[in-house]
Structure 1
Amino acid sequence: MLFPAWYFMGAFWAGIAFTVIAMILLKRSDSYFDQHMGPHQMHDLGKLTFGFAIFWAYLVFSQYIVIWYGNMPWEMSWIIDRSGEDFGGLSLLVIVLCFLVPFAGLMGRDPKMRSAWLGSVAAIAMVGLWLERWLLIAPTLHEPGTSTLTFWEPLIGLGFLGLFALSVRWFLSTFPVIQIWQPPQEPEMMEREGPSQVPEDGSSREPAGV
């Protein structure tokens, strides 16, 4: 039951990494957006990137330790195929890109608030997550004696990334990134009741018509 959580969390983390990159690009191209997205927002995204790197490593290790401890042949083959001679190096590269680089690169407060550094770490994490998704499928379809990773796989991934970037660009050109059509909300005016007028004799007067 750990694999669905691992897969979903990786996709969610990729969305956070893309949000970091998109935010940095918008800050450089849109002065109005730059005014509303300051260092505090950058720090929050940096903390999310750092935290999900640790959470990703936790889920990967949890998935591995369950398969290793169970020692079931039909489950062990999944790890053996991805840790052997053909794909072992790429599996280690995924761990470096998805965990070691974000963990070491975003340690502390200052790296999370530097846009260029945070964007570079987010881009590296996205490359690692793409390679992780590729390793979920490629070893199963791999034939012995053939190359493991060709230029076609990254090219196809870049093609889909380009389509996604074009759709995001169309959305940003059609709808404002920050709500600008609503005026700033003002506190509601509270009606104040005037002082009650009580006759000098102390008697109460009923309104006319009652």
Structure 2
Amino acid sequence: MTTPATRYQAPRDISRLLKGIAGFGAAIVVAGVFIAPHRTWPSVLIAGYYLLSLGLAGLFFIAVQYVGKGIWSTVFRRVPEAMTSVLVPVGALLLIALGLGAHTIYEWSHHAAVAQSRVLQAKSGWLSLPFFLGRSVLYLLIWIGFARAIVSNSRRQDEDGSRERTAKNMRYSAIFLVAFALTFSLATFDWVMSVQPHWYSTIFGLYNFAGLFENGLATMSILVIVLRRSGPFRGIINDHHLHDLGKYVFAFSTFWAYLWFSQYMLIWYANIPEEVTFFQKQMSGGWRSLFLLNFGLNWLIPFLTLMTQAAKRSEGVMLKVCTVLMVGHWLDLYLMVIPSYGGATPPIGLWEVGPILGAVALFFLLVSRALGQANLLPVNDPTLDASLHHHL
């Protein structure tokens, strides 16, 4: 069994592989900005938003566990804490991408387009580039501030064992959950929904939260299982922990499906011209197969596979399902953004795949480094012993 003070060190060959893939993705982005900017910048937006969502999912999970006094997850809390390490570097990269690529990504950033559209003129007070970038900075500062406060309190508790740090994190978490609901919805409206500025959905923020948390849970489960298999969590993470993670993944996959159907059904039934444009492209030509595949990857496969207790407790099954969900979330974001620029056939090539591959490699590289900066177990957390002996 790993000693409580153990810190994680990623194998060198894995680190080299991740660096290579991340470098490959970065090279594709640099080349694509000059060769195919209209395909590359939207893909960079997707990759940045995807990565940022993983960091926010880790922070949201921690906050929910503190507020709900969830003891079972204390043993692997350092995993979602490590996931938050992406917020600063990825946030900075996303801001740069939004600033440099805005005129390629967003129709509303062109004065000529605004002059020809009453809808864009009505939204011009909100959708102005300086205000847009200013809001983006504010969102990131709020998220990073809460992440720093909560994670630093958790790590300092390893040194002084103060129970007051747990109480502080409960208060911080409660405030964060309220702030997150507002800021994430607004960020999603700004960064993703405004790609199609004439279109709107009243549940778009909630729908994207469901995707964020579903994918975050899947990614967190992969990290926990890999750490269990490779040794650091062997004998520490038991089948009951894995079962609970499986239930979370199963539940939020179904929650995502509920919101997916709700958004589609309401738009289809109302048949309002400003709303139906979002699905018209997705349900025609070569896009239709991806539209159906999106539903299959994000709900049908996880739902049918994880129905049994044995499946939720199987490392192999969970790894496969969670990998499917990671791909599914990228496809979901792809369908939110790319149809605005694509033709009758979905463009899926180097300019679309390269950025997301590099982003995912960068995520795992940053997380592996963050896991080595603190004890793998929160050794002085008052709930650790109960978490170690968690059973259903």
Q: Which residue of 1 aligns with 2:197?
A: none
Bigger Cα displacement from structure 2, 68-77 vs 109-118: 68-77
Are positions 1:80 and 2:280 aligned together?
Answer: yes
Are positions 1:109 and 2:276 aligned together?
Answer: no
Q: Which residue of 2 aligns with 1:168?
A: 367
Aligned-residue identity in percent:
35
Are positions 1:152 and 2:152 aligned together?
Answer: no
Aligned pair in 2 of structure 1 residues 182, 16: CA closer, same or farther (>3 Å)? closer
Check conservation: 1:87, 1:148, Cα contact below 8 A.
no
Q: Which has the higher contact order (CA 8 A, sep 6+)?
A: 2
Aligned pair in 2 of structure 1 residues 75, 184: CA closer, same or farther (>3 Å)? closer
Higher helix share: 2
Check conservation: 2:339, 2:346, Cα contact below 8 A.
no
Are positions 1:25 and 2:226 aligned together?
Answer: yes
* SS, match of residue 7 in structure 1: helix
**Over 4 Å off, 4+ runs:** 181-186
Q: Which residue of 1 aligns with 2:298?
A: 98
Q: How does 1:1-210 map to 2 (within 5 A)?
A: 1-31=202-232, 33-144=233-344, 148-180=347-379
The residue identity in structure 2 corresponding to 1:9 is A
Whole-angstrom CA distance in 2 between matches of 1:47 and 1:154: 30
Structure 1: which 5+ runs fail to align? 187-210
Give 1:34 shift. Answer: 1.8
Give 1:182 shift. Answer: 6.9
Aligned pair in 2 of structure 1 residues 55, 176: CA closer, same or farther (>3 Å)? same
| Total equivalences in the alignment | 184
Whole-angstrom CA distance in 1 between matches of 2:248 and 2:350: 32
Whole-angstrom CA distance in 2 between matches of 1:93 and 1:184: 42
Whole-angstrom CA distance in 1 between matches of 2:290 and 2:235: 41
Give 1:177 shift. Answer: 1.9
Check conservation: 1:86, 1:148, Cα contact below 8 A.
no
Give 1:21 shift. Answer: 0.4
Check conservation: 1:101, 1:121, Cα contact below 8 A.
yes
Give 1:69 shift. Answer: 1.4
Give the TM-score, by structure 1 length: 0.82
Give the TM-score, by structure 2 length: 0.45
The residue identity in structure 2 corresponding to 1:3 is F
